[in-house]
Structure 1
């Protein structure tokens, strides 16, 4: 696609106006070089109300939006089962695309999307808010400092699932949702970019006996990394404990970790884990993402997570689900 005029705003369409779409919408509208010109949701009243506040056009059908609206970039914020079809339509229309995570429901779908985006020569990005977070960057430095990896532990605990702010029923369903599929991509991104490739997976998931459509309530598993080191995974929901999303890395000389998603901690020898100061100020994740999108759409440098990472994450998730189904180790497909 041709380089954008540096004076005119980047025109954005948003497809999907649920909790996540609405959240990033604030960052999109706050950027002085972006203009949300069209919004789309199957809920006509929600689309109209949102559009009115933005002086944008409202749509209930994404294909009609793509055919009629003047857009440079489209944000796909619909439930995961619709990512594949809608994103391919966006790519076919020649627009740049930002997609929610996980990239798709299956590895083959994710690979389709990546291939199509590459062939079209468009900017393609995945919304992973931990990307370029100063706490994560500090954690990566600490992992290098504590010496060769012995083992890592990923812990996910949620007192309620879906969480109170998640009003989308699919998040609690087995077909699309669940904590591993919903939260897992964030931490998998950190693991893959910090500890290396996951080569095989063992997993066991527990589901409610009375509701075959419900997502997992608990899970245990292991990621084996290239080189043989292990990441032990524990997930538990609906327990009387505060939310916990943490990653602990045991090195030969010390221990590095993340608590509360992105706060780095460190321990030397047998000492306690202690908070580590993050050297630079934290810019809100949405602001970082939107700034990078504007730069890339204008043909300038911008650090984004592209669909290739979405494919890598999807390969691990698919191996996890297959392992849980068959009860044995499963190799992660090569991507």
Structure 2
């Protein structure tokens, strides 16, 4: 392929607009079409790009010559739109979580495999040098036997100030576990291995039955019995915290501020671990890998198979919250 990769973007909210800027900055990408139910927003976004503007994703797929489609709509619409994209035979990038339910995620994965196209999930922590360093710390034997891990999520406000929209604070599609959880569940799955069962409990605002959780506590049990303690708290007067700590018999390794690796030997203090590879923005890594893959080259992407594994953890979390019991994850 010698022409620019022709990209269509469906969904022009905050996340869609953010990655749209990365696509437009890439020298080998042409954003050829954009789509949103808000016709004015679609037109305003398309104008400076010389792109076509649409309000119906099916009309976009029928009317625009595209190589790759980025689906950046709310989770409840991922499956229906993604399946249309796959039926059209286009390469596909989808926002996380992959779907609203595990069944939808599995259907999307099967359809992507059958279509024979590139399929990827937008997880900006993937291939981050800090995350790669954390993986090395967990795997190089310096921790000894892993005994436990802890994931801590604290948000002074939810939704976060930049994140306000009609669904992100709702129980049906939003909430910090569903929104932030996939990023760290992906790290846990790749660094520590499969999650076999989940126990979870959540607190919701008494005055708003439609609102998402304000607090959650749970356990992810890994193969071999090691447990990951998950604590989530919102709307408290503390700075945002996203951290993951792995405790071993000989040392400790962790991530602070999302992707900064730290480690300790024995009883020593946790200290920052140098990262050798220069850090680039997650969106830049993702778009570069997508362009390479579309053109038949290499590219490190999170495919829909991993999306299904993450979705299985999310669904088990939600089922456990509802039942108050341990829930097995369904094998991907």
TM-score interval, normalised by the smaller of the two chains? over 0.9
- 1:76-87 equivalences under 5 Å are 76-87=71-82
Match of 1:42 in 2: 37
* Aligned-partner Cα distance in 2 for 1:276–1:112: 41
* Aligned-partner Cα distance in 2 for 1:322–1:214: 17
Pick from 298, 311, 314 the counterpart of residue 301 of structure 1. Answer: 298
Match of 1:165 in 2: 162
Match of 2:180 in 1: 183
1:27-72 CA-to-partner distances (Å, cap 9, x unmatched) read 1011111100000000111100000011100001101000000000
1:154-190 CA-to-partner distances (Å, cap 9, x unmatched) read 0000000000000222010000000000000000000
* Aligned-partner Cα distance in 2 for 1:161–1:92: 36
Q: Which runs of 4+ in 1 moved over 6 A?
A: none
Q: Secondary structure at the match of 2:202?
A: strand
Is the aligned partner of 1:102 residue 2:97? yes
Match of 2:63 in 1: 68
Q: Secondary structure at the match of 1:122?
A: coil
- 1:241-320 equivalences under 5 Å are 241-320=238-317
Q: If the length of structure 1 is used for normalisation, what is the TM-score?
A: 0.98
What is the Cα deviation at residue 102 of structure 1? 0.1
What is the Cα deviation at residue 334 of structure 1? 1.2
* Aligned-partner Cα distance in 2 for 1:139–1:290: 23
* Aligned-partner Cα distance in 2 for 1:331–1:259: 29
- 1:116-265 equivalences under 5 Å are 116-144=111-139, 145-265=142-262
In the alignment, is the contact (CA less than 8 A) between 1:143 and 1:251 conserved in 2? Answer: no
Q: Secondary structure at the match of 1:303?
A: coil
* Aligned-partner Cα distance in 1 for 2:285–2:148: 31
- 1:313-328 equivalences under 5 Å are 313-328=310-325
Match of 2:85 in 1: 90
What is the Cα deviation at residue 146 of structure 1? 1.4
What is the Cα deviation at residue 295 of structure 1? 0.8
Return 5+ residue gaps in structure 2 as ranges. Answer: none
Q: Secondary structure at the match of 1:233?
A: strand
Is the aligned partner of 1:330 residue 2:309? no
Count matched residues: 330
Q: Secondary structure at the match of 1:249?
A: strand
Match of 1:111 in 2: 106
Q: Say what the alpha-carbon RMSD is for the aligned residues.
A: 0.6
What is the Cα deviation at residue 150 of structure 1? 0.6
Q: Secondary structure at the match of 2:163?
A: coil
Return 5+ residue gaps in structure 1 as ranges. Answer: none
Q: Secondary structure at the match of 2:255?
A: strand
Q: Secondary structure at the match of 1:156?
A: strand
* Aligned-partner Cα distance in 1 for 2:41–2:234: 31
* Aligned-partner Cα distance in 1 for 2:174–2:145: 35
What is the Cα deviation at residue 283 of structure 1? 1.1
Q: If the length of structure 2 is used for normalisation, what is the TM-score?
A: 0.99
What is the Cα deviation at residue 10 of structure 1? 0.4
What is the Cα deviation at residue 142 of structure 1? 1.1
Q: Secondary structure at the match of 1:153?
A: strand
What is the Cα deviation at residue 201 of structure 1? 0.3
Q: Secondary structure at the match of 2:286?
A: helix
* Aligned-partner Cα distance in 2 for 1:148–1:177: 36
